[in-house]
Structure 1
Amino acid sequence: MSTATPASPESLRDCMVDIIAATHPLTAPVEEALRSVPRHEFLPEATVEQAYADRSVTIKPNPAGGLPLSCASVPSLVADMLVWLRAEPGDSVVEIGAGTGYNAALLARLVGPEGQVVTIDIDEDVTAHARQTLKATGNGAVTVLTRDGALGAPEHDHPARMIVTVGAWDIPTAWWEQLEPGARLVVPLSWRGQARCLGLDRRGDQMVSDVVELCGFVPMLGQDGERTITIDTDGLVALHFDADQPIDTEALRGVLSRTKTQVSSGVTIRGDESFDGVWLRLTATDTATCRIAAGRAASDNGLCTPAIPSRSPALAENDSVAYLTMTRREIEGSTRWELGATGHGPDGHHLATRLCNQIHAWDRARDARPTITLYPAGTPDDKIVGGCTIDKPSVRMSITY
């Protein structure tokens, strides 16, 4: 029989923050908030140990399967986003995606009694839970609204900060109207099959990024800008692309059975080394960029072998496709992985070469991050500065290295 005394919530919370602070640059106010707000009290169905592990916790499963309808985000990502938000005492903050109420409690700690926090969610069950936990933890001053987050909170004046804790595909017009010049927005935004958390400052009629980091969130309801098709006869391989892309779905059906070519880049990585920057560069340079996802059967039988089977960058154009690959190499006694591309169809080799060109561009500056500038929809081309422009219903995006 064990006689060890169970760890207290306070000690577990301090341990969680110590672990996060060791690898994430926390500001003093964010660290203090993390050490002060009892995350376990917002997660009544989780154990205390689960509440203070650096992992997400599902709070509302999806009855249809797949991604949950709502979850408590990974604490280290919560911390990063709060640092990127730069909320100060006295600020007004609007949060899109109420979750458990935990993030709103952290925000309330950051803005203090003179500030204001409004948290919004479309799901009545979620807002009821958040309202209850916030009140029980002494955060009753936080305003909880049940509505479509795309509407924002116009009745609460113009917030200094807005933070979005669900995955967005567009920046709704209402957010533009409510965020005046000088305001800041932190939002997980998806485009070309991948998602990045952006920290943006409103500057006149633009929002300009100074943070562009990889992330993943439960998608926001009502923003259905991504399209999906299968490209093999058995439905094992899918392409995911944006509504503005002129993908010829009929021409691509069966493309994996057509001429196959492989192009090597000569660029290698370690097994623990990230290469997500290749995808980001592709979105800045090639309008054919999308995402390919291969089921296990397709990967095992060699039909389609992307670098990461469930989500890898691809180029799709007319009746041809190419996708990122990763091949094991033994170099001077150590294991490396060479990045390359596999193409299918008449222009498969050309697309694979284009993809490899961006592998080389990434290799020359692996840590580089682009500046992403958002403009309201309808902004004329001559007013947009930078390279590749991506159009969404409410914004035009410019991605510049």
Structure 2
Amino acid sequence: MSTATGTPPEALRTQMVERILAGQRLAPAVEAVLRHVERHRYVPDAPIADAYNEQAVITHTFPDGTHLSCASGPIIVAAMLDALHVEPGHNVLEIGAGTGYNAALLASLTGVAGQVTTLDVNADVTAAARRNLDDTGYSHVRVITRDGAEGAAEHGPYDRIIVTVGAWDISRTWWDQMVPGGRLVLPMRWRGTTRAVAFTKRDDHWESDWVFLCGFVPMLGQPGEHSATVDPDRLVTLHYDTDQPVDVDALQGVLDREKVEVWSDATVGGEEPFDRVWLRLTATDDRTVRIQADQKAVTSGFCTPAIAVRSPALIDGGSLAYLTTRRSDDQQGCWQLGAIGHGPDGEQLANRILDEIAVWDRDRSADPHLVAYPTGTTPPDDTTGKLITKPENRLYLAYDRQ
């Protein structure tokens, strides 16, 4: 079997792994299973070259065209798998069956003494995963059609749980079905951004030690986010969490109100990431949301976020400010970071964004430390960090451990 260009799958798989290793270290066992499992056989309808490129391969969609399931890009698959720390003999639960590829990787890591159970709420997804796993020699992997938030207590407790759909909250059942000291890796959504986070189960809380930028299809059944347009042409949308008191009516037409631009001294190269500015804002300011602008709004100059489809913004009453960029006059090929504000408090909000740009600029690689206390557990009085309240957890974010 080969691609149209004549490159065999084995060579494409080797190229995929080498590309991953160029950007991150992997445990030898994780590298070995990535070299072994034939990813193209889990997306049989896609060109073989696409199976090994750094891209998500969409496998199922809703009737309205939104994505229901996909094969995630190899870099995030490898990163989350490495952070999970799977060992031979482990009992592993996967939430989000996808194509079955990730379950095959897990089964290769757990070995004959281990167990892997994968869940998905959609019967078409589980049927395809079951078929792919059977066809590639992983018929021993359990595939169950079920809401992933329910877990699978009948096959637990689990040493490891991995979630491969965007989770707005951490299900209490995952806590109950995890062994003490067990490890959970999931794409966690808060304040409009998504980060893969690795948690360890402590006596009464989850504690993180790894955070990684990612994007995933949202998990069904966790309606923790709202969205609202703020202009008559519906070109600009704000996305915010249910615990945020957003006055949607007050924000209507905000982009037509007084405007101010403020600029920092920080610049980035063309491919240099600056997403941790957003992380800084989520850990310090409850007013942080996501702004999304249609290309028409960007082209006309009506709304120009740093990244049109996903950038951080601050909102307060009828005022708004968002992160933006412009070409640097002093450094060729670089972009200067700034903020644009609208409304009576727009300048104050824009300067607040500049404050966090300055902090980020002093340590561009720092990630927050996350602690989550499940419902029914009581955080100590001296717990520090920005509190984000979710139905099943109290999530704290802090950059300096106390």
Same fold (TM over 0.5): yes
The match for 2:27 is 27
The match for 1:370 is 368
SS of residue matched to 2:139: coil
* Backbone CA RMSD of aligned residues: 1.5
The match for 2:82 is 83
Q: Describe the shift of the 1:389–1:300 C-alpha distance in structure 2 as closer, same or farther (beyond 3 A).
A: same
Q: Describe the shift of the 1:384–1:142 C-alpha distance in structure 2 as closer, same or farther (beyond 3 A).
A: farther
**Residue type of the alignment partner of 1:374:** A
The match for 1:359 is 357
**Residue type of the alignment partner of 2:42:** F
- What is the deviation of 1:298? 1.4
Q: Identity rate of aligned residues, in percent?
A: 53
Aligned: 1:350 with 2:348? yes
**Residue type of the alignment partner of 2:23:** T
- What is the deviation of 1:350? 0.9
SS of residue matched to 1:339: strand
- What is the deviation of 1:183? 0.5
The match for 2:98 is 99
SS of residue matched to 1:367: coil
- What is the deviation of 1:384? 6.2
Aligned: 1:392 with 2:383? no
**Residue type of the alignment partner of 2:214:** C
The match for 2:17 is 17
The match for 1:156 is 155
- The 10-residue stretch of structure 1 (92-101 or 261-270) with the greater mean CA deviation from structure 2: 261-270
1:384/1:398 contact within 8 Å kept: no
- CA deviations 1:214-258 (Å, max 9, x no partner) are 100111111111111111122111110000001111111111111
Q: Describe the shift of the 1:388–1:74 C-alpha distance in structure 2 as closer, same or farther (beyond 3 A).
A: same
Q: Describe the shift of the 1:5–1:57 C-alpha distance in structure 2 as closer, same or farther (beyond 3 A).
A: closer
Counterparts of 1:63 and 1:5 in 2: how far apart (Å)? 34
1:377/1:391 contact within 8 Å kept: no
5 Å-filtered alignment, 1:64-213, equals 64-66=64-66, 68-213=67-212
Aligned: 1:227 with 2:236? no
- What is the deviation of 1:327? 1.5
Q: Describe the shift of the 1:263–1:381 C-alpha distance in structure 2 as closer, same or farther (beyond 3 A).
A: farther
SS of residue matched to 1:308: coil
Counterparts of 1:369 and 1:199 in 2: how far apart (Å)? 12
**Residue type of the alignment partner of 2:36:** S
- What is the deviation of 1:378? 5.4
Aligned: 1:256 with 2:255? yes
The match for 2:46 is 46
- What is the deviation of 1:148? 0.2
1:57/1:72 contact within 8 Å kept: yes
SS of residue matched to 1:138: coil
Q: Describe the shift of the 1:340–1:207 C-alpha distance in structure 2 as closer, same or farther (beyond 3 A).
A: same
Counterparts of 2:288 and 2:207 in 1: how far apart (Å)? 23
Q: After TM superposition, which residue ranges in structure 1, 4 or more long, deviate above 6 angstroms?
A: none
Counterparts of 1:5 and 1:78 in 2: how far apart (Å)? 26
**Residue type of the alignment partner of 2:225:** E
The match for 2:294 is 295
2:169/2:390 contact within 8 Å kept: yes
- What is the deviation of 1:379? 4.8
- CA deviations 1:63-120 (Å, max 9, x no partner) are 2023x21111111211111100000000000000001111101100000000000000
**Residue type of the alignment partner of 2:91:** S
- What is the deviation of 1:36? 1.2
SS of residue matched to 2:45: coil
Q: Describe the shift of the 1:5–1:213 C-alpha distance in structure 2 as closer, same or farther (beyond 3 A).
A: closer
**Residue type of the alignment partner of 1:160:** D
- CA deviations 1:284-309 (Å, max 9, x no partner) are 00000001111112112221111111
- What is the deviation of 1:22? 2.4
2:204/2:377 contact within 8 Å kept: no
Unaligned stretches of 5+ in structure 1?
A: none
Counterparts of 1:384 and 1:127 in 2: how far apart (Å)? 45
SS of residue matched to 2:333: strand
2:156/2:178 contact within 8 Å kept: no
- CA deviations 1:248-296 (Å, max 9, x no partner) are 1111111111121122122212122110000000000000000111111
**Residue type of the alignment partner of 2:385:** G
- What is the deviation of 1:330? 2.2
Counterparts of 2:386 and 2:137 in 1: how far apart (Å)? 47
Counterparts of 2:381 and 2:170 in 1: how far apart (Å)? 19
Q: TM-score, normalised by structure 1?
A: 0.96
Counterparts of 1:384 and 1:46 in 2: how far apart (Å)? 53
2:373/2:379 contact within 8 Å kept: no
The match for 1:285 is 284
SS of residue matched to 1:220: coil
1:372/1:400 contact within 8 Å kept: yes
